[in-house]
Structure 1
């Protein structure tokens, strides 16, 4: 049986520049990311040097202005880059998405002076960012966060603990939401905190069932002093900034989920066409053919949904409902498709000798991060029927 390599996704890209960009990303994914993925995930090794390489290639600031080191790419293109990276290794695709999320507050709400001072280093200077909203006692209920920032002259002193932070302990900068006023969403302010600031530390990384190469840790802020020049936006604007960032971040998760699902589909198809039972490839059996057809349909539908939401965003139109739908559908699709891939590989799918079991373990977290899928359903329902009756 001849080797059946995965076929590249036939993408509809708006410009020749975008087509060249995807070609570059595929080359990096094939030759620099995928060959090391299984080993490094098994060892729990984060590829920090790879992110430096991605920064050199201009891939860590794609949706932001070229004036500050960004790539001036529409979200429609940026998300397809994420999908390509996540197909090769979810840790890398998700890492780029989180870094982009961490840059959003300054890029969208920062003063011109702040952007001129910090953005170039964040977007193409080799730095890696983290986004600090969740806390041990405030996950989905982010407006109840307890981390406090107290004004002291021209500085702010930040104290508290952030939880479930991707890149916690290795990030060069943290976008931190802290309480500067009364309880509730209107008392929260955003800050840009250097990773090496005095008083910043991280707990040991969480021991996770998947994405072992991506460090997730609590970040402790023990009297961290930052100047007011590192406050992003107005006092009390932080929660609105956080929610605005999450709309785009959910699309990043959706694209990564489809990348992971595509990888699982490719593996299942490769195995099904090579594995022979009863004298023929198992792909000839109708039960498996129908499974593969359903998996491919779900992947294509998810891709269409996140791209439709991205095009709304690029056009400056409201897209929060569609972002929630994309995150919900695409991550549920990743869970279904990776589970089916394990089933198609049978006993081999349950062993670490094949990547299907890793894909299934990694898919689960995507239904949880950046708003659980139960929260996405609440967001969608509010857009459809209005707020819940009190």
Structure 2
């Protein structure tokens, strides 16, 4: 099926392979504790026992993910940001695009990597205008257990109360947080491919963006925007799980050109908008923790993917950092070498975890690395072996051959020049569009 998701039988017929990933992070995750103070009810979140069966009514309550980002521990491995210093008397304004619409909304905030309780002194949601400005009349104050503020303990996750807020699929929303008290180092998502804004003092209700004079290309504390109402809830959300290629590294800033974004656009263009959530972390590995790129995938899968409401399918694209991480080019220093067998065992663990919740699992072949900093004969041999297993083992419910979708026809071990961001590893905007186009929507 030439670069498209196919049945197990057609997956076995697929040929040789390629896809690459590296760059950005998350560290040891502390289990969520819930809230303290007056807004404890907001911490209830999603039912941890949801998704036990493929059949019957939708699980996970009346919510579906509109947008998501995997929490990470503070790091400045690539460039300075606000994660290590944190905030004090700051307002942080962050722009996200939801994949599905509804008639109500709520936000998810994470203090997963915090070392002390986090005080949120105020929060709003609004429709994005331009930059840090929002549309007039669209600002809605958010409450937490009917209170205007809340405290999230170290390791905790919190959800705002539901607010009536009609939102369309593919609409950009602005979430604004006021952090009056010193936060210390922050839980954040390093590679947002989007601009966040900071101002001194409380500017949660500002319509214009004049006060927001500082910028960052990361998201802070915000880990989800959920929607409800509208056409109703179905158990059909799609989660893209992976590393920097899923995260969108190499895509243009503020353009929503990551491959999960383009996949959401395909659903919307077909007249059937779906929840498509991006849980990629640059540099992440399936089998190894990293000092900068987060907990290994087999551990964070439960926290990031299985905690989402009404998930029906997950697409797994991960493993190239396990293969390349033991070499001198892996940022932050080498991680333990991973054999093909150990990496496959890691993939099998992800599949088992998903199937235990009745979630369909799509395996994506690893994309080309020739000409990149991961390019060695040994690494290429491992990549070929893992891709052969993904294609032919039948372990995954479906296979999407992203290797073929991005490969240079004249040199299949190399990413096609038209799809290369310039490092031989990460796609550019056109490459991410090609990845999304390779997914057969009928199989999701």
Q: Smaller-chain TM-score range?
A: under 0.3
Q: Which has the higher contact order (CA 8 A, sep 6+)?
A: 2
TM-score of the two chains, using structure 2 as the length reference: 0.25
Relative to its length, the structure with more strand (as a share) is 2
Relative to its length, the structure with more helix (as a share) is 1
